[in-house]
C-alpha cells in the first residue's frame, strides 16, 4: 500500500490504522483487568509502576513492533524470518512469532469467558436486575453466574461465535466503522460514570487510592504484574501489533501514532479506575475482590441512578464492543498461521482456530465452579491455590508477554542497524536517541530486573 501525500485517502487510512490499533488495545484489559489488579496490588504504587512501565517500556516497544512489521510486510513468523535472513541473524528470533501465536491463543481462551460475563450483564440490565441490588445481593448475583458452568459456557460460546463471525466474514471494515463511534461513546459513558462516582461521597478517597503511592503495599509480584499488564493492555508481545504494522504505509509517523494509542489506552484505564473505586469505598465493598470487581460494583451504581438500567445496558454493550474488537485481534494470528500452513481456506482456518480456542475456554469456565479447588501446580508454593484460569493468566501476562517483549527489544536494539531504524522513524534526532536508549537499555534492563526479582 502506498498513498499520495496530502490526499484525503492518506489521512483516512492513517486514522483507520490508529483506530484499529486502539480497538485492539482498549478492551477488557482497561476496564476489567486494570481496576481489579490495582485493587489486588494495593492501589497508587501499582498505578505509578504501571504508568512508568507503559511509557518507558510499552511505548518504545509498540514502536519496535510496528517498525518490524512495516519492514517485513508479512505475518509475524514470516516477518521475523525475512528480516533475520536479510540481516544474517539467527533464525531463533523467529520464536518471537511462534510465542506470539501461542500466547494469543491462550489469552483469547479466557478473554472470551470474561467477554461472556459482560454479555450476561447485558441481559441482566435488559430485565432490570440492577434496580433492586444492595451490597450483598450484588455479590450473590455475580456468584450465581460463576457457579453455573452451563450459563458461563453459553455466554462464552456466544462471545466466540461473535468473534469467529467477524473474522470469517471479513466484516472487519464494518466493525471498524462502528468502533469509530462506539469507542468514543465508551469514553463518554466512562466520564459520566466518573461523574456519578463524584456524587457518592467517596470520590476523594477513590482518587487518593489510585494516585497516592504507598510503596509499603506493593510486592515484587505486584511490580511484575504492572509490567505484564503494560504489555497486555497495549496488545504487545504477541506479534499482533507487528501484524498491524505490516499494513502500514511508509509515510505514517510511527512515533506519533504510538503516542496516541498509548495515551488513549491509559486514559480509558484511569477513567475506569476513577469510576470504580469511589463506588467501592462508598458502599464498603472490597477493593481486592479480584476478577469480579467491576461486576460487583458498577451494577450497584446503575441500580442507584435515575435511568440506571439504561446506563447499565449501554455500559455493558460498549464493554462487549471493546472486548470484541480486541478478541478479533487475538484470533487473527492463529487463523493466519493455520491458513498458511494447511490446505484449509480462510473460513475453514477461522472455524478450526475458533473451535480450538472455545475448547480451551472450557478450562476457564470450569475454574470458577466445578474445578474451583483444582490447583494443577499446587505442589509448588508459588502456584498454591491457582486455578487453571489463574495459571493461564499468569503464564501469559507474567511470562510470555514480558519474555517475547524482551526478545523483541533486544533484537531491535542490538541486532538491527541504526540507519535502518532511523529511516523507519521520522522523528527528531533527540526523540530518536531517546527511543533508542529506551529500547537498548531501559526496557531490557527493566524487564530483566523485574523478572529476576520476582522469581
Ligand atoms: N489489549 C487488549 C485489552 O486490553 C487485549 C489484547 C488484544 C491483547 N490483543 C492482545 C493482549 C495481544 C495481549 C496481546 O483488553
CB 271 within 8 A of CB 47: no
CB 334 within 8 A of CB 353: yes
What residue has cell string 530483566?
448
CA of 284 to the centre of ligand 1 (A): 31
DSSP assignment of 189-222: HHHHHHHHHHTSS-HHHHHHHHHS--GGG--HHH
Which atom of ligand 1 is least distant from the CA of 103? Answer: 14
- Does the CB atom of residue 235 touch ligand 1 within 6 A? yes
d(CA 165, CA 354): 10
CB 76 within 8 A of CB 100: yes
Q: Please calculate the CA angle 257-259-262 and round it to the nearest 5 degrees.
A: 110
CB 117 within 8 A of CB 295: yes
CA of 371 to the centre of ligand 1 (A): 26
- Does the CB atom of residue 233 touch ligand 1 within 6 A? yes
Pocket test for ligand 1, best of 31, 35, 326 (most atoms within 8 A of CB): 326
- Helix-then-strand count for the chain, H and E: 22, 0
Protein residue whose Cα sits closest to atom 6 of ligand 1? 235
CB 279 within 8 A of CB 300: yes
Considering only CA atoms, which of 32, 107, 116 is closest in space to residue 330? 107
d(CA 288, CA 379): 25
CB 78 within 8 A of CB 72: yes
Pocket test for ligand 1, best of 20, 23, 28, 29 (most atoms within 8 A of CB): 29
- Does the CB atom of residue 29 touch ligand 1 within 6 A? yes
What does the buried/exposed string (b/e) look like for 396-414 if buried means 16 or more CB atoms within 10 Å of the residue's CB?
bbbebbbbbbbbbbbbbbe
Count CB neighbours of 198 within 10 A.
Answer: 16
Considering only CA atoms, which of 389, 398, 29, 439 is closest in space to residue 220? 398
pLDDT the model gives residue 12: 56
d(CA 190, CA 94): 40
Which residues have a Cβ under 8 Å from the Cβ of 3 and sit 6 or more positions away? 9, 10, 13, 249, 251
Q: Could you give the C-alpha distances from 129 to 189, 338, 444, in angstroms and in order? A: 20, 43, 48
Spell out the per-residue pLDDT of the chain, length 455, in tens: 333 333 333 445 777 888 889 989 999 999 999 999 999 998 999 999 999 999 999 999 999 999 998 888 877 888 889 999 999 999 999 998 889 889 999 999 999 999 999 999 999 999 988 988 888 899 999 999 999 999 999 999 999 999 998 888 765 566 666 677 788 888 999 999 999 999 989 999 999 999 999 999 999 889 999 999 999 999 998 888 988 888 788 888 999 999 999 999 999 999 999 999 999 999 889 999 999 999 999 999 888 888 888 889 999 999 999 999 899 999 988 888 888 889 999 899 999 999 999 999 999 999 999 999 999 898 888 888 899 999 999 999 989 999 999 999 999 999 999 999 999 998 999 999 999 999 999 999 999 988 888 77
pTM of the model: 0.92
CA 296 to chain centre: 21
CB 369 within 8 A of CB 148: yes
CA of 304 to the centre of ligand 1 (A): 32
Protein residue whose Cα sits closest to atom 7 of ligand 1? 326
pLDDT tens, residue by residue, 384-410: 889 999 999 999 998 999 999 999 999
Q: Percent of the chain scored above 90 by pLDDT?
A: 66
Which atom of ligand 1 is least distant from the CA of 322? Answer: 15
- Does the CB atom of residue 387 touch ligand 1 within 6 A? no
CA of 355 to the centre of ligand 1 (A): 20
Considering only CA atoms, which of 453, 60, 388, 85 is closest in space to residue 231? 60
Considering only CA atoms, which of 400, 335, 349, 389 is closest in space to residue 100? 400
Considering only CA atoms, which of 444, 413, 425, 402 is closest in space to residue 96? 402
DSSP assignment of 41-98: TTSHHHHHHHHHHIIIIIHHHHHHHHHHHHHH-S-HHHHHHHHHHHTT--GGGGHHHH
- Does the CB atom of residue 37 touch ligand 1 within 6 A? no
Amino acid at each position: 500500500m502506498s498513498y499520495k501525500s496530502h490526499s484525503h485517502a492518506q489521512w483516512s487510512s492513517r486514522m483507520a490504522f490508529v483506530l484499529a490499533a486502539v480497538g485492539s488495545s482498549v478492551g477488557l484489559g482497561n476496564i476489567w483487568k486494570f481496576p481489579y489488579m490495582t485493587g489486588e496490588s494495593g492501589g497508587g504504587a501499582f498505578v505509578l509502576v504501571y504508568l512508568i512501565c507503559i511509557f518507558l517500556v510499552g511505548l518504545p516497544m509498540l514502536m519496535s513492533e510496528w517498525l518490524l512489521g512495516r519492514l517485513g510486510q508479512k505475518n509475524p513468523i514470516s516477518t521475523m524470518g525475512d528480516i533475520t535472513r536479510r540481516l544474517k541473524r539467527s533464525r531463533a528470533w523467529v520464536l518471537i512469532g511462534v510465542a506470539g501465536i501461542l500466547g494469543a491463543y491462550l489469552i483469547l481462551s479466557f478473554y472470551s469467558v470474561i467477554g461472556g460475563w459482560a454479555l450476561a450483564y447485558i441481559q441482566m440490565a435488559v430485565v432490570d436486575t440492577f434496580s433492586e441490588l444492595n451490597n450483598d445481593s450484588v455479590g450473590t448475583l455475580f456468584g450465581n453466574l460463576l457457579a453455573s458452568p452451563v450459563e458461563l459456557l453459553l455466554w462464552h460460546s456466544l462471545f466466540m461465535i461473535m468473534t469467529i463471525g467477524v473474522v470469517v466474514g471479513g466484516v472487519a471494515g464494518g466493525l471498524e466503522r462502528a468502533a469509530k463511534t462506539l469507542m468514543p461513546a465508551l469514553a463518554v459513558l466512562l466520564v459520566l460514570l466518573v461523574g456519578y462516582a463524584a456524587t457518592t461521597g467517596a470520590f476523594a478517597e477513590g482518587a487518593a487510592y489510585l494516585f497516592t503511592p504507598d510503596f509499603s503495599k506493593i510486592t515484587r509480584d505486584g511490580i511484575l504484574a504492572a509490567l505484564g499488564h503494560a504489555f497486555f493492555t497495549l496488545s504487545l508481545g504477541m506479534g499482533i501489533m507487528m501484524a498491524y504494522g505490516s499494513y502500514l504505509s511508509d509515510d505514517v509517523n510511527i512515533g506519533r501514532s504510538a503516542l496516541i494509542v498509548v495515551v488513549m489506552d491509559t486514559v480509558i484505564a484511569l477513567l475506569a479506575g476513577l469510576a470504580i473505586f469511589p463506588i467501592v469505598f462508598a458502599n464498603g465493598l472490597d477493593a481486592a475482590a479480584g476478577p469480579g470487581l467491576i461486576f460487583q460494583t458498577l451494577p450497584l451504581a446503575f441500580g442507584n441512578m435515575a435511568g440506571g438500567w439504561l446506563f447499565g445496558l449501554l455500559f455493558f454493550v460498549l464493554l462487549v464492543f471493546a472486548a470484541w474488537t480486541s478478541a478479533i485481534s487475538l484470533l487473527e494470528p492463529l487463523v493466519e498461521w493455520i491458513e498458511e500452513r494447511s490446505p484449509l481456506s480462510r473460513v475453514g482456518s477461522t472455524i478450526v482456530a475458533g473451535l480450538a480456542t472455545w475448547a480451551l475456554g472450557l478450562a476457564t469456565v470450569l475454574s470458577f465452579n466445578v474445578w474451583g479447588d483444582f490447583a494443577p501446580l499446587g505442589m509448588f508454593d508459588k502456584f498454591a491455590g491457582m486455578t487453571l484460569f489463574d495459571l493461564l493468566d499468569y503464564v501469559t501476562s507474567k511470562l510470555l508477554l514480558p519474555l517475547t517483549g524482551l526478545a523483541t527489544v533486544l533484537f531491535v536494539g542490538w541486532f538491527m542497524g541504526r540507519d535502518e531504524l532511523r529511516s523507519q522513524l521520522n522523528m527528531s534526532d533527540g526523540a530518536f536517541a531517546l527511543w533508542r536508549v529506551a529500547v537498548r537499555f531501559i526496557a531490557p534492563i527493566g524487564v530483566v530486573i523485574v523478572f529476576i526479582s520476582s522469581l
